[in-house]
Structures are given as structure tokens and as C-alpha cells.
A and B are shown apart, each in its own frame.
Chain A
Amino acid sequence: MSEPEISVPTAAPAAVPEVVARLTDGEWHRLHPATPLLKGGFALIVVLGYVVSNLRERLLGMFLPRFDDGGDPVDYVVSHGIILQVLGGVALLLVVLISGFYVSWRMHTFRITSEVVEVRSGILFRTNRKARLDRIQGINIVRPFISRLFGAAKLEISQAGNDANVHLSYLSSAAADDLRREILRRASGTRAAEKVAAAVTGSLIDRRVNELLAPELDPDAAPPESVVKIHLGRLFGSMFLGTGTVIAVLVVIGATIWISLSGDFFVLFFALPSIIGFGGYYARKFSQSLRYTIAGTPDGVRVGFGLFSTSNETLPPGRIHSIEVSQPLLWRPAGWWQIRVNRASHTSSRGSANQANTTILPVGNLADVTAVLALMLPDFIGGETGHFIESGMTSKGADGFTNSPRRAAWLRPFSWKRNGFAIVPGSLVLRKGAIWRRLIIVPQPRLQSVGLHQGPLLRRLRLASVHLHTVHGPITAELGAVDQGAALAFFAEVSDLAVLSGQADTSHRWRSGELPA
């Protein structure tokens, strides 16, 4: 396997590693030479091998009926003196395939300037995608297992919108981290120069081994310690106390009842696929959450996970549109919570790596939640408003939140005491649910619009519901059964805040305020 087109930097350059400086010089560059293999070459070879080995007799019978008597084709070729023709045919096929891959690799180029990243690809159908750096919603580095063996990584630059991501697959693994840092630095609008990154040394094998074993967090760019550690026991526990398990148990109970009532055992035929399905679901979820790390960097929150295939994404500040801290019922005895977010970029290909890209914290206790929220909302936790988090998660009511009045008990019999909102500097906080407890935080600069609804039932009770509209995602920020007067005041205040915070927001160039160092 040849090395990536980039040689190991020998001397440490002035500002950024030479590799990255070269990739970001604004000229067109090609991807990692192993790209065709990683993108489908392996699959093709495996499939061809499988087909040929399984269907050898059949294929021979079909195309060369003379072999029906079972003679060895190699003997036939040799004895008839057509070795050259056969070899020529095979070689031609290989040449066509390889040159196809080679040309597609040649034609797949990208460039990174100070304003945009642009990718061109395709042989017959050319595509050209250009994305502005200040619109980046996040940069994800995915390393599927096989590509890790080749020292290659996928760089995925998320943009707002459906399938609006720019994929640079594949790049040299070592360059990917530095490249991401450099792209984010340019996007951030900072004028401070980056520190020099350490040059990579050692032989090819050493570097591969180091990359495979290295933690997902690059020590230069992030504090080496993740703020949250998920123990294996907690991971198992959280998975088996999840909704999937409840469904599985219900299915098993249902099947048992059915069998005992009807005496039919044909239900068991469905058991195997279901077990495989559930097993796959758990295995995927499990391997995804293994080696979970989260840490703050100057360019945003970095979330990494995965055991064999790893993924590690940096979300710049101001790219999180709403945050939900929630607790499934079965997690309550253990005091576990999960954190999900709404983001502006959506990937339709929900592969093993992308699946969790709205779950920021798969499971954690109160301290973990606070630590993660501190990364995402530094002003919130740092100030005197930090207690809103804890009371928002666990309190039964009667604290800093504006809660629903007693008459809301008609609609929220259990949760009316804690069903409420709070306006804190920089964010809006909604708290709801006594059984499925939820805390929704919407950063004010991300608020798109605010709504106030009242139907006949709510009107009779002098209640109203408020809606905070953000980009589409798993979280819907709305709060029902709020006192009518409080809701009106909330609506008025939030509509003002939405305007002010939107104007004051500079997070699309999040470090533009910094001075040169």
C-alpha cells in the first residue's frame, strides 16, 4: 500500500503542519490513493470472488458448454493453447476496472480556500459542490475500521440543510485532524496564529499502530481528558433499561401468551429474525457508545465515539439549536440522563457512525450532564444561573421557574407543579414532565420565531401553550398549560429577545473577537 500523496513533514513549519498548509493552499488536490479501494473496490473484489467461487460450474456450463463433462478449465486452456487469449481477456477486464477506479480518483479533487471548500467529482456526470466556511455546522472525522488499517479517514463538513454535507473521503488519517483544525480556524474568523503541531515521526507501521491505538482526542487541540467517562456497567445498564428492552419484553410476553393459548408454535419462526434484529440493534448501539469522549476545544465541542469504526465530530459554538436533557422512566432509579440536540444539518445516510449525531451524551449522571452543558453553554453554567440545570432536571417545582397554576392539574395531573419556563441570560429553559422528565434549553440566538397558541379547552382554563421554533430535529420546544398572563408576558419578552440576540450574535465567526496572539 503506497503512502498518501503527502510525505511525512520532516521539519516543523512556521504556522501549520506542512501537510495541511499544502492542502489548504487554495489549489486543487486529490484524495487518499486508497480511496477507490475503500469506497467499493474491496466490496467489488469480495463480491466477484464470492460469485465466481460459488457459481463456477454454472458459469462454465453457461458460457462454455463443452465443460459440462466436468473437466478443469485450466487444463482445457493449456491443452488448447489459448492461454494468451484467456490471460489477455482477464488482463483487459482488470485494466478497464482499475483504470475506471483510477480515473474516478483522478477526477475527484477538492480545494480549500480561506472562504470556501469545494469538491469536484464524477467521470461522466460531474458534480461540483462549494460550501462557505462560515456556514459550517460541524466537521466530522469518520474512520471506518478498514480505512483505519490504511491510515485513511473521512472528513465530513456539515452544512445546514438536507444532505448538504461536503464529504472528503478519504484523506490521510494524520492530516485529517490537522486539516479540520485549520478549516475551523479559518472559519472562526480568528486572527491568532495556530501553534505548531508536533511532527509525526516513526516508521509506517509505528504510525499505523499509533493511530489505531490513539484516543480519539488529539492532545494538541483538546484537553486530553474527556469531561465524561461512561463506564461499561453504566453503558450496559442504560441500554437494557431502555425502550428497546421494554418492547422486547412485551413481544416475548405476547408470544408466550399466544403460544400457551393457541398451542401453535409457528410464532417461534419469527423469533430468530427478531433476536437477530434486537441483537444487531444492541451491538450497534453498544459499539457506538464505547470509548465515548466529549471535550471542549477553542473551536467548539468535540464528541467522539466508536470502538472499531470511530467517529469524532467538532461542533463549533452556536451550531446547537436546542438541547434536551431527558430521562426515560426506567433510568430514574439510577439517576441517568441523556442529552440530545437539534442541529441544522441532517444526513439522510444514517450509517453506523451518523446514527448518534443528535445524541450528545448517551448516558450520564447529574454531574456528567452539568459538565456537558458547561461545554455547550459556557455562559449559562458559569454564571449564577447554573442552578437552573439541576432544578430543571429534578426539582418538583417551587423555584426559579414560572410554573403552571393549580388549575393546570386538569391537563397535567402529575407534572403541573414543575411544568414551567425560565428566561436566563442567553437561553430559554422549558421544564416539563413528571414521569418522563425533560429539560429543554434553547439558546436565544438560535431561536427562529416564537408562537403562542390557545385552543378552546385551554381558554376555558385560562391557560395557553408557548412554542419556541428552532430548526427541525428530534426536539420540539413547546410548553403546554402555562398561565395565560404568564404566557403573554413570555411571548412579548421572548419576541424582543429573539430580535436582540439575533442581532448581537457573532457565532458564525465565533472567534472574530479575538486579538492576534
Chain B
Amino acid sequence: MDRLELPGVTWRRVSPRLVWVELVGGAGFLVVVLAVGVVMVLLQVWIPVVVLGVLAAISIVNLALTPRRVRSIGYQLREDDLLFRRGIMWQRFVAVPYGRMQLVDINRGPIARGLGLSELKFVTAAAAAGVTIPGLPEAEAEELRDHLVSVAESRRAGL
């Protein structure tokens, strides 16, 4: 049961600080679930308690796996295309030629901004296939954006 691995690719990893962003998000969800669960216990409605318990267990496992999941995110700037991967259980690889770029977004959430991180979104004409690279240090994200725009310009393709 070997994992999928593309030969001859050295991945650039995203910042490990992204773990904290993901952890805070996951923990927030967990707190909400627990709070609702406590209310349900007080009200003595047991079916929702079971459901919420399962949800809480899943989100705890999810939190525990966060560091590995963040480590699994990687990208590589090849000669003519951008290669991106993420996921451990559900692995996903995408290759996008630079010339297909329609626009690049940089987004910063409140927690990520506190940690100096940005999320870069590479949008093509295919709605389903946008590549989103989270957890890039701000300077790196802007540099990457400028690089992507310039290579997309020189390799422009039609729709």
C-alpha cells in the first residue's frame, strides 16, 4: 500500500505555522460542538448527544492529524506548469499550465494574518480546478503571485 508519489519532484512545503491556523479553526468547531452537547445533556435529549459525540471524536482525530496534513501540502514551480499536492488520506495532485491562468488571488484570514500567512489562489477557466495554496508567508505569497503573473504572461494560451 504505497502512497502515490510523482517521480523526480521535490516539493516546496508551506509554512509549519499553518498548523496553528488549522488548529484554531478545528478547535473552534470542537468548542461549538461540545457546548451544544452540554446543552443537550442538560436537556436530556440523548440522540443529538450521540451524534455530537461522534462529531467531536472525528474533529479530535482531525486535529491530531493536522500537522501531518499541513506537511502533506506542497507545490512545485516547474518550467511550464504549477504542480500542487495535498492530503494524506485523500491525496490530490493537480498540474496547471501557467498559460491557463485567469487570475491570482491572495487571501488572508484573521488568524493567518496574525501569523503573517497568506493563501494564494490560482484560478483557471475550469471552475472546479482552482489551485489554492494556503500557509504561504506574506512576502513569499506576493513574490509567487508576481512570478505566476509574469510567467503566465509569457506563456499565454487561449481558453
Cα separation A459 to B99 with both chains bound (whole Å): 32
The answer to the question of A471 belonging to the interface, with a C-beta cut-off of 8 Å to chain B, is yes
The answer to the question of B126 belonging to the interface, with a C-beta cut-off of 8 Å to chain A, is yes
List A contacts of B131 (CB < 8 A). Answer: 449
Please state if B92 and A507 are interface contacts (CB–CB under 8 Å): no
The answer to the question of A406 belonging to the interface, with a C-beta cut-off of 8 Å to chain B, is no
With A160-B159, A498-B81, A499-B80 as given contacts, are A491 and B93 in contact (CB-CB < 8 Å)? yes
Task: Name the segment of B1-9, B22-30, B54-62, B134-142 touching the other chain.
Answer: B1-9
List A contacts of B81 (CB < 8 A). Answer: 495, 498-499
A-B contacts, 23 of them at CB < 8 A, read A321-B159, A344-B125, A448-B124, A449-B97, A450-B94, A451-B93, A453-B93, A455-B90, A462-B1, A464-B4, A469-B94, A469-B128, A469-B129, A471-B126, A471-B159, A495-B83, A498-B81, A499-B81, A499-B97, A499-B99, A499-B155, A502-B99, A508-B158
Please state if B124 and A456 are interface contacts (CB–CB under 8 Å): no
Q: Which of A415-470 contact B (CB under 8 A)?
A: 445-446, 448-456, 459-460, 462, 464, 467, 469-470
The answer to the question of B41 belonging to the interface, with a C-beta cut-off of 8 Å to chain A, is no
Could you tell me the distance in whole angstroms from the C-beta of B148 to the nearest C-beta in chain A? 14
Could you tell me the distance in whole angstroms from the C-beta of A477 to the nearest C-beta in chain B? 10
Please state if A449 and B99 are interface contacts (CB–CB under 8 Å): no
Please state if B129 and A449 are interface contacts (CB–CB under 8 Å): yes
Chain A positions within 8 Å of B, measured between CB atoms, are 135, 137, 160, 318, 321, 344, 445-446, 448-456, 459-460, 462, 464, 467, 469-472, 476, 484, 487-488, 491-492, 494-495, 498-499, 502-503, 505, 507-508
Please state if B1 and A460 are interface contacts (CB–CB under 8 Å): yes
List B contacts of A462 (CB < 8 A). Answer: 1
Cα separation A487 to B95 with both chains bound (whole Å): 14
B82-119 interface code vs A (CB 8 A; 1 in, 0 out):
01000001111111110110000000000000000000
Please state if B97 and A498 are interface contacts (CB–CB under 8 Å): yes
Cα separation A454 to B90 with both chains bound (whole Å): 6
List B contacts of A453 (CB < 8 A). Answer: 90-93
The answer to the question of B127 belonging to the interface, with a C-beta cut-off of 8 Å to chain A, is yes
Cα separation A60 to B136 with both chains bound (whole Å): 74
Among A137, A472, A498, A507, the one with the most B-chain Cβ atoms within 10 Å of its Cβ is A498
Could you tell me the distance in whole angstroms from the C-beta of A116 to the nearest C-beta in chain B? 17
Cα separation A470 to B129 with both chains bound (whole Å): 8
Cα separation A450 to B83 with both chains bound (whole Å): 10
List B contacts of A488 (CB < 8 A). Answer: 4, 6-7
List B contacts of A467 (CB < 8 A). Answer: 128-129
Please state if A498 and B95 are interface contacts (CB–CB under 8 Å): yes
Cα separation A498 to B126 with both chains bound (whole Å): 14
Which bracket fits the contact residues of B?
A: 20 to 34
Nearest CB to that of A504 among chain B residues?
Answer: B157
Knowing that A451-B129, A476-B128 touch, tell me 5 more A-B residue pairs with CB under 8 angstroms.
A451-B93, A452-B4, A472-B127, A492-B6, A502-B155
Cα separation A472 to B158 with both chains bound (whole Å): 16
Q: Which of B19-59 contact A (CB under 8 A)?
A: none
Please state if A471 and B125 are interface contacts (CB–CB under 8 Å): yes
Please state if B89 and A448 are interface contacts (CB–CB under 8 Å): no
Nearest CB to that of B5 among chain A residues?
Answer: A488
Cα separation A123 to B62 with both chains bound (whole Å): 58
Could you tell me the distance in whole angstroms from the C-beta of B70 to the nearest C-beta in chain A? 19
Please state if B126 and A452 are interface contacts (CB–CB under 8 Å): no
The 5 closest A-B pairs by CB, nearest first: A469-B129, A495-B95, A502-B157, A448-B126, A469-B126
With A498-B81, A503-B157 as given contacts, are A448 and B129 in contact (CB-CB < 8 Å)? yes
A-B contact count (CB 8 A): 113
With A318-B158, A454-B90, A502-B99 as given contacts, are A472 and B1 in contact (CB-CB < 8 Å)? no
Could you tell me the distance in whole angstroms from the C-beta of A179 to the nearest C-beta in chain B? 24
Chain B positions within 8 Å of A, measured between CB atoms, are 1, 3-4, 6-7, 80-81, 83, 89-97, 99-100, 124-129, 131, 155, 157-159
Cα separation A135 to B80 with both chains bound (whole Å): 24
List A contacts of B157 (CB < 8 A). Answer: 445, 502-503, 505
Cα separation A491 to B81 with both chains bound (whole Å): 13
Please state if B126 and A472 are interface contacts (CB–CB under 8 Å): yes
Could you tell me the distance in whole angstroms from the C-beta of A5 to the nearest C-beta in chain B? 35
Please state if A452 and B97 are interface contacts (CB–CB under 8 Å): no
Nearest CB to that of B3 among chain A residues?
Answer: A459
With A472-B126, A492-B6 as given contacts, are A450 and B89 in contact (CB-CB < 8 Å)? no
List A contacts of B125 (CB < 8 A). Answer: 160, 344, 448, 471
Could you tell me the distance in whole angstroms from the C-beta of B11 to the nearest C-beta in chain A? 15
With A495-B81, A503-B155 as given contacts, are A451 and B99 in contact (CB-CB < 8 Å)? no
> Which of A137, A344, A484 meets B4, CB within 8 Å?
A484
Could you tell me the distance in whole angstroms from the C-beta of A388 to the nearest C-beta in chain B? 24
Cα separation A450 to B100 with both chains bound (whole Å): 12
Could you tell me the distance in whole angstroms from the C-beta of A98 to the nearest C-beta in chain B? 44
Please state if A449 and B124 are interface contacts (CB–CB under 8 Å): yes
Please state if A450 and B1 are interface contacts (CB–CB under 8 Å): no
Cα separation A97 to B154 with both chains bound (whole Å): 55
List B contacts of A505 (CB < 8 A). Answer: 157-158
Please state if A449 and B100 are interface contacts (CB–CB under 8 Å): yes
List A contacts of B127 (CB < 8 A). Answer: 471-472
Cα separation A467 to B126 with both chains bound (whole Å): 12
With A464-B4, A471-B127, A492-B6 as given contacts, are A451 and B100 in contact (CB-CB < 8 Å)? no
Cα separation A137 to B125 with both chains bound (whole Å): 14
Nearest CB to that of A494 among chain B residues?
Answer: B95
List A contacts of B4 (CB < 8 A). Answer: 452, 454, 459, 464, 484, 487-488
Could you tell me the distance in whole angstroms from the C-beta of A411 to the nearest C-beta in chain B? 16
Please state if A459 and B1 are interface contacts (CB–CB under 8 Å): yes
List B contacts of A459 (CB < 8 A). Answer: 1, 3-4, 91
List B contacts of A455 (CB < 8 A). Answer: 89-91
List B contacts of A469 (CB < 8 A). Answer: 94, 124, 126, 128-129
